[in-house]
Structure 1
């Protein structure tokens, strides 16, 4: 297989050129509907369980189980999508998800034992459709040979992710406070089902299934790449920020007597990320993606270092906004890097490992923050974000060499296809 140019191309490609890609809108619109609930599930579970049991610790734990299940099972569904096609995985996944969320709601309102809530949360999280990874895989399929435009596509997708994190929490909180927390989860399941089925129906833009034994080579997991494992570790720290902030902001707002503001405050954090992502995607970067990854992650740690000291909701919202400025650039650069580390037959799986790492970090962050909040109050919950992101930065800095190409010695088999790594100098072109 011919070596592919890295996506660090400096050719200016705007969002307009990207969105003029033939048939792009046929999968982008249903994907947006299906991705919106992603930011509603964890917060919706927290609000439901907190409302029915009175415990933030239990609420964070149940949300964590859903996130862990998603983190563990998501990459496997991504791998199945690479092998057998996206629609073959999506349709049963969204059906299972709707049923599992319905069971969780029924158990919570029935006052069922705590362990049954965990039992229902596991399939609810495991069946979350990996729409973001699948959309990125479709962009790779559509933009093969256009690395600069692909970089813009990754920026666009990260902005879309952040848009869902702006709208999702606000929508979940608004429904929960105005109607009932269970209705917020009903809306999450309905959007997932309808959007997922519509996205699955757009088969013409999906990558062709690689099959179980493409090219006659042993099919290895995308996680076999040390660079992918390192990026997954970095995204684990990133996810801990999401988890800690979801629970801590909710508790902080309630402690301040304004529970309905938790969604807008968290949405402002995501809005900062979205704005930064839009601007990031417009810049024709000349520095290597590895350097940008370290710089963006360091800014994230700096932003997290102030959250625990905020005295009120206004100052917390402002600090969250600035903290969010580092999120999307970190995500964009991470997805840019991982796309160069695996073969075409493993793209969806590789993207899903990063998404899954975020989910696992979210689980750990929400659990730790919930326990600290129950014991010591909401402010201490924010320290989990600082610790998680700090550990992620340490890992990226100390093992950054794993993100570099290894020349001809870097041939790997991932997803059933051999891929040759270009020399390090190629990553510095432009």
Structure 2
């Protein structure tokens, strides 16, 4: 905890962490809000899953491109324009009762326009703190983002039940507008310049840390998305229970992140943390009552933030600074595809086999992720004794003496 206190004393860290957290808050709200909103309008969880999937797919496709453009156009202009477009489109989807195909199309476009806050902030971090504090900062970021998943589901279900799903989506957009403006106007955003990458778009995908983090991030987040849809399917129409269970799931991640997220990362670290996630989900499949799911998902959540810390720190420690924004964007792409895949699979399972089957689907995704970590163990970097600082874009030059 002393390390985290020291971090927050560094000038600019508190504002950047809090503002980007606020701007990313809709990620903990929109999936649930649109699942409830589309299901209420069209009476189909499958249709709702497709809309959520379209939003995630749009953001996944646009993420690497928009992150690459930050080095050309600058962070502030790009993030500002995209934030305005995203707010307008999502608000239109909330207010106007479009048909399912139109909702899917608009969801895809809105997803494409969602500003790449996460790649931007993780590119800023190495320039914000001393080298020895970088890994703890990534851990703090991964842990703090669990506040999104603690408060977001509870707030969304409360607003949706008490006022309506339209109001829940508009609330999410208020967070994006306020948080985005606060982050974009931060001095750190204006000071950091990303040098143009010498690789072509997608060139970072030849690096094993990027491929591993993107692929495992996809199946890991599909796990979370399927859990979310399953809990909404079980409790979404009856009151705030769904939000509380998902908040407890995220609380487990918060506790795990504070307890273990700052530890040094070894090649087997990811596998061990994924086993915690998988074990909790396996237990969750045995019953569907509120207290059992709350307990088992809390246990599963203990591994979430520590696992995400490994995925992001592996990139920071193995890529050049000019390549980090695009690399993080590709990881985000994998995770966003995971949101769509998890929501779509879970929605199909709920409609055809009942809500508990979505938890089984989530467990299957978790097992696949853990097996993937075992298979890719030999390519995972050993970061013990390192600072996690990106590689410099310049190298030594030989001279003739």
TM-score of the superposition, structure 1-length normalised? 0.85
| In structure 2, C-alpha distance between the alignment counterparts of 1:211 and 1:67, rounded to whole Å | 28
Aligned with 2:267: secondary structure? helix
Q: Indicate which of 314, 317, 322 corresponds to 2:294.
A: 317
8 Å contact 2:271–2:370 — kept in the other structure? yes
Q: Indicate which of 251, 260, 266 corresponds to 1:280.
A: 260
Q: How does 1:255-334 map to 2 (within 5 A)?
A: 258-281=238-261, 283=263, 285=264, 288-334=265-311
Q: How does 1:161-240 map to 2 (within 5 A)?
A: 161-205=145-189, 208-212=192-196, 217-219=198-200, 221-240=203-222
Report the Cα offset of residue 207 of structure 1.
5.8
Q: Please provide the CA RMSD for this pair.
A: 2.4
Deviation string 1:2-31 (CA, Å, 9 cap, x unpaired) is xxxxxxxxxx96101111111223323322
Report the Cα offset of residue 379 of structure 1.
0.5
Alignment partner, residue 10 of structure 2: 21
Report the Cα offset of residue 116 of structure 1.
0.4
Q: Does 2:391 match 1:402?
A: no
Q: Does 2:80 match 1:91?
A: yes
**In structure 2, do the counterparts of structure 1 residues 151 and 114 end up closer, same or farther at CA, with 3 Å as the change threshold?**
same
Alignment partner, residue 321 of structure 2: 344
Report the Cα offset of residue 205 of structure 1.
4.7
Report the Cα offset of residue 415 of structure 1.
11
8 Å contact 1:219–1:415 — kept in the other structure? no
| In structure 2, C-alpha distance between the alignment counterparts of 1:324 and 1:207, rounded to whole Å | 36
Report the Cα offset of residue 32 of structure 1.
2.5
Q: Indicate which of 36, 39, 43 corresponds to 1:50.
A: 39
Alignment partner, residue 371 of structure 1: 348
Alignment partner, residue 399 of structure 2: none
Q: Does 2:216 match 1:245?
A: no
Aligned with 1:22: secondary structure? coil
Alignment partner, residue 89 of structure 2: 100
**In structure 2, do the counterparts of structure 1 residues 17 and 415 end up closer, same or farther at CA, with 3 Å as the change threshold?**
closer
8 Å contact 2:17–2:141 — kept in the other structure? no
| In structure 1, C-alpha distance between the alignment counterparts of 2:34 and 2:110, rounded to whole Å | 10
**In structure 2, do the counterparts of structure 1 residues 317 and 416 end up closer, same or farther at CA, with 3 Å as the change threshold?**
same
**In structure 2, do the counterparts of structure 1 residues 150 and 275 end up closer, same or farther at CA, with 3 Å as the change threshold?**
same
8 Å contact 1:23–1:205 — kept in the other structure? no
Aligned with 2:319: secondary structure? coil
Deviation string 1:23-69 (CA, Å, 9 cap, x unpaired) is 22332332232122221111111111011111111111111111111
Deviation string 1:108-135 (CA, Å, 9 cap, x unpaired) is x2xx331001011112222222323322
Report the Cα offset of residue 311 of structure 1.
3.3
Alignment partner, residue 66 of structure 2: 77
**In structure 2, do the counterparts of structure 1 residues 350 and 418 end up closer, same or farther at CA, with 3 Å as the change threshold?**
farther
Alignment partner, residue 114 of structure 2: 128
Q: Which moved more, 1:126-135 or 1:373-382?
A: 126-135
| In structure 1, C-alpha distance between the alignment counterparts of 2:350 and 2:391, rounded to whole Å | 43
**In structure 2, do the counterparts of structure 1 residues 74 and 218 end up closer, same or farther at CA, with 3 Å as the change threshold?**
closer
Report the Cα offset of residue 403 of structure 1.
2.2
Aligned with 1:259: secondary structure? coil
For structure 1, the residue ranges without an aligned partner over 5 or more in a row are: 1-11, 406-413, 421-430
**In structure 2, do the counterparts of structure 1 residues 69 and 194 end up closer, same or farther at CA, with 3 Å as the change threshold?**
same
TM-score of the superposition, structure 2-length normalised? 0.90
| In structure 2, C-alpha distance between the alignment counterparts of 1:344 and 1:282, rounded to whole Å | 22
For structure 2, the residue ranges without an aligned partner over 5 or more in a row are: 383-389, 397-401
**In structure 2, do the counterparts of structure 1 residues 181 and 379 end up closer, same or farther at CA, with 3 Å as the change threshold?**
same
| In structure 1, C-alpha distance between the alignment counterparts of 2:379 and 2:364, rounded to whole Å | 23
| In structure 2, C-alpha distance between the alignment counterparts of 1:311 and 1:25, rounded to whole Å | 40
Aligned with 2:94: secondary structure? helix
**In structure 2, do the counterparts of structure 1 residues 291 and 98 end up closer, same or farther at CA, with 3 Å as the change threshold?**
same
Alignment partner, residue 133 of structure 2: 149
Q: Which moved more, 1:25-34 or 1:152-161?
A: 25-34
| In structure 2, C-alpha distance between the alignment counterparts of 1:101 and 1:67, rounded to whole Å | 13
Aligned length: 389
Alignment partner, residue 113 of structure 1: 99
